[in-house]
Amino acid sequence: MAARLAATALRGGPPLIHYRDYNTADAPPNLSLRLVADKRAVFERYAAHDAVVGMGEPYAAWLRSMRRRWPWGSNAVAGGPDGLRYAHVDRGRLVLGPDRGKSVVDTPGFEPRSVVFADPGTLVVQDRVGRIFARRRGWPPLGAQAGPPAAAVLPGGRLVVAARNARGGVSIRHADQPWGDLGGTGVHDTVSLLVGEQGIDAFAPAEAGLLHWHGRSGRFALEVAPHRPAGTVAVAPGHAAFREAGMGRLVVLGERAGWSVVAVQEFDATSDPALAVAPGDRPVLAVRDGDGRIAVLADGRRTVLPARIPGHHDRW
């Protein structure tokens, strides 16, 4: 009821951002160690005056996380005639950039909630009731799933989409085929897709660890890695990267190393990483630090950009 009243009061004003409440305890902690320490210090002052609460569980788990109820719905991709392109959802409208020519994209018959690029020319959107659409010669529907979609384009132009399903696992489909169940349980919100020379790789943080499917010729094999990502797994050719929950570090996996750890960066980031691959198969990470600045980490070096970005722990 409180959320409904807030939405009514803010109608026509600033956007209302919904956050998860008690069930944040069901997911790995996603706040930086510094932010958790600040939250604990404030809550401890309050807890001293309230006999019902304490600093143990479940309050400790709630203090370690802050998650939006739905993904922010933003994505960026390099390539195409405009160079860097981005898309995001603003109050039910799909906005496509770059800045110098951003425009609102018509979404006839549905209100978008999240968006992802499959490639520089293909958008995949999920609406507010879970239906997924691809912007390819119109908006052909791809069915509905519980979680937000990940998407990629195979050699030859076939679109592939994956998402968390209602059973807590992951489903995948090619645009010209029905959904198939990859299995898995306890998957958190996001799935990541990577198309490479060796086939398709899908990654999903889950209660059991990091779920990784590798597929060739339509057949997928599942492995569970002993990692605990705090949020979305970033992917780039031959690599995957994520924040290790509650550890204050960034982890990079490499395909050539059998998807084992190839780099660890001790850094108390407040956002999930962006990932690129430099010449020489060198991973480059970019994350938000505790002061709202962007830190670029590569080759064991760290460069902090001077501009501050508003927000605290979101993917960007």
For residue range 10-38, list pLDDT tens digits in order: 676 676 777 888 888 888 888 888 889 99
Tell the residue number behind the tokens 């943080």, with chain if given.
Answer: 205
pTM: 0.86
pLDDT of residue 125: 96
For residues 252-260, average pLDDT:
96
For residues 293-310, average pLDDT:
86
In contact, 32 and 272? CB cutoff 8 Å:
no
Q: Which of 180-184, 214-218, 299-303 has the highest mean pLDDT?
A: 180-184
CA distance 206 to 124: 23
pLDDT of residue 298: 93
Summarised one tens digit per residue, pLDDT across range 44-85 is 999 999 999 999 999 999 998 888 776 655 677 766 556 678
Summarised one tens digit per residue, pLDDT across range 127-149 is 999 999 999 888 999 999 999 99
For residues 185-201, average pLDDT:
92
In contact, 72 and 88? CB cutoff 8 Å:
yes
pLDDT of residue 73: 58
pLDDT of residue 82: 60
Nearest C-alpha neighbor of 142 from the set 88, 102, 178: 178
In single-letter form, the type of residue at position 166 comes to: A
Kindly tell me if the per-residue pLDDT of 313 is higher than 50: no
pLDDT tier at 311, thresholds 50, 70, 90: low
In single-letter form, the type of residue at position 255 comes to: E
Q: How are strands ordered across the β-sheet holding 131-135?
A: 112-119, 122-127, 131-135, 141-144
Determine the 3-state secondary structure of 2 from DSSP: helix
Instruction: For residue 35, report the phi and psi dihedrals to the nearest 5 degrees.
Output: -65, -40
Q: What is the CA radius of gyration of the chain?
A: 20
Token digits of residue 262: 């190839």
pLDDT of residue 81: 59
Tell the residue number behind the tokens 């505790």, with chain if given.
Answer: 290
